[in-house]
Chains A and B, each alone.
Chain A
Amino acid sequence: MPSLIDLRRRIRAVKSTQQITKAMKMIAASRLRKSQDRILNARPFAIQATHVLRDLAARCDPSVHPLLAVREEKTVLVLILTSDKGLCGSFNTNIIKAATQFIVAQGRRKLVLGLVGRKGRDFFQRRGYEPVINRVNVFQHLNLEDARGIADMAAELFVEEKIDAVYLVYNEFKSVLQQRIVTERLLPIAKEEFRADQGAARVDYIYEPDAATLFATLLPGYVRSQIWRALLESAAAENAARMTAMDAATKNATEMIDALTLYMNKVRQAAITREIIEVVSGAQAL
């Protein structure tokens, strides 16, 4: 039977852990509110941009701009967004699992990795992958510059035909309690499926100014906005995951403290009973 002092010590240890998890939960909650606002407001733009670009890819001639090119996917860039810090439940485990599955499914295609976030980088570098894009510590202070850097690099590789497709694997912020892992193709841009009733609408656009000038600003901007969105999604999802994980940890700590306290009281009572018996039997012996 453990001694009283040992039990007290354990209770104290659990309590201080609980304090930490509680504090982390609060911090994650306040960060979550901010990142949630950001993603909810940024989403419509990214979604509309996707619609426009899909319409565009279906209508126009891909030779106008190198970012519109569709080639056989021989070499594929996979951009994997993980978090920099742990203690966020299964957030990173899930994304890495999904990414690994995706990589395996690529079979004989050549792969290049782009890694954002320390957890993913650590995982894949330990397994001998050499990422072409490698960013850590972007999630603390997310800004457009980071998105631009990543996007322009991916676009450049694509234009130089070093890669034939870009895929994004990230956690989408669905709700505070749910993150959804998304694997989507960023480049080449998916073509909009035309509905039958729109048959007559399937004509090329009028471009103002001319197509080449327009695309030169439009397409890189599109890639940036999609990367930006993915970064924001991932940041919000991370904070949500951390908040739920820390909430669960705090609850578990409470339970553990209760159980330990009960046990400690039993031990204390047993010790008292034993002492009384000792005293009484001592007195009887006299």
Chain B
Amino acid sequence: MSLPTHLTLEIVTPERALAHEEVDEVQLPGTEGYLGILPGHTPLLTSLRVGQVWYRKGTEKFYLSIASGFAEVLPDRVRLLALVAERAEDIDLTRAEAEKRRAEELIQAAKSGNPDIDFDRARISLMKAMIRIQVATKAKIRN
């Protein structure tokens, strides 16, 4: 059987569908590290962690931020089911930065022994904010 030359990428969240496209390459954040997917990949099922996703169409790259969910990879298809995902161009940078500051404050407070604050949750929201900033700036540099 000949290998497929393209991947059908689908990115959906419970709120909306973000992508349904033919692409050449995808990179996504698996729980055990980033994965680069090319057409003809062996079937794979992975959960996702907070991170950035990009996919390439020809020479053009598109970035997204993503947080938790899972991905199914088949030789000719990638399905990304994320609970939260955002395209780089949709990210509100100022809001993301505000979130980052807030999360940092929370972490500081947790470190100084405030028992009301959930350290793990603060850490995850900090991670989310940082990824969003990273993804958004990347998209900006590209343009």
B90 → A minimal CB distance (Å): 15
A233 → B minimal CB distance (Å): 14
Q: Is B54 located at the chain interface by the 8 A CB criterion?
A: no
A61 → B minimal CB distance (Å): 13
Given A201-B75, A214-B70, CB of A48 within 8 Å of CB of B10: yes
Q: Check A55 against B72 for contact (C-beta < 8 Å).
A: yes
Q: Check B16 against A206 for contact (C-beta < 8 Å).
A: no
CA distance A48 to B83 in the complex (A): 13
Q: Check B15 against A200 for contact (C-beta < 8 Å).
A: no
Q: Check B43 against A45 for contact (C-beta < 8 Å).
A: no
Closest to A47 in B: B12
Q: How many residues of B contact A (CB 8 A)?
A: 23
- Total of A-B residue pairs, C-beta within 8 Å: 74
Interface residues of A in 35-70 (CB under 8 A from B): 41-42, 44-45, 48-49, 51-52, 55-56, 59
A260 → B minimal CB distance (Å): 50
Quick check: which of B44-52, B58-66, B120-128, B133-141 contacts chain A, the rest being far away? Answer: B44-52
Closest to B13 in A: A45
Determine the chain B residues whose CB is within 8 A of the CB of A41 once the complex forms. Answer: 15-17
B34 → A minimal CB distance (Å): 11
Q: Is A208 located at the chain interface by the 8 A CB criterion?
A: yes
Interface residues of A in 77-115 (CB under 8 A from B): none
A218 → B minimal CB distance (Å): 6
Q: Is A158 located at the chain interface by the 8 A CB criterion?
A: no
Interface set of B (CB-CB < 8 Å, partner A): 1, 10, 12-17, 30-32, 42-47, 70, 72, 74-75, 79, 81
Identify the 5 closest CB pairs spanning chains A and B, nearest first. A44-B17, A208-B46, A205-B45, A45-B12, A41-B16
